[in-house]
Chain A
Amino acid sequence: QVRLVQSGAEVKRPGASVKVSCKASGYNFIDYTLHWVRQAPGQGLEWLGWIDRDSGKIQYSQKFQGRLTITRDTYATTAYMELSRLISEDTAVYFCAREGQTSGWYEGCDYWGQGAPVTVSS
Chain B
Amino acid sequence: GAVVSQHPSRVICKSGTSVKIECRSLDFQATTMFWYRQFPKQSLMLMATSNEGSKATYEQGVEKDKFLINHASLTLSTLTVTSAHPEDSSFYICSSQKEGTDTQYFGPGTRLTVL
A and B are interacting partners: no
B-to-A contact residues, CB < 8 Å = none
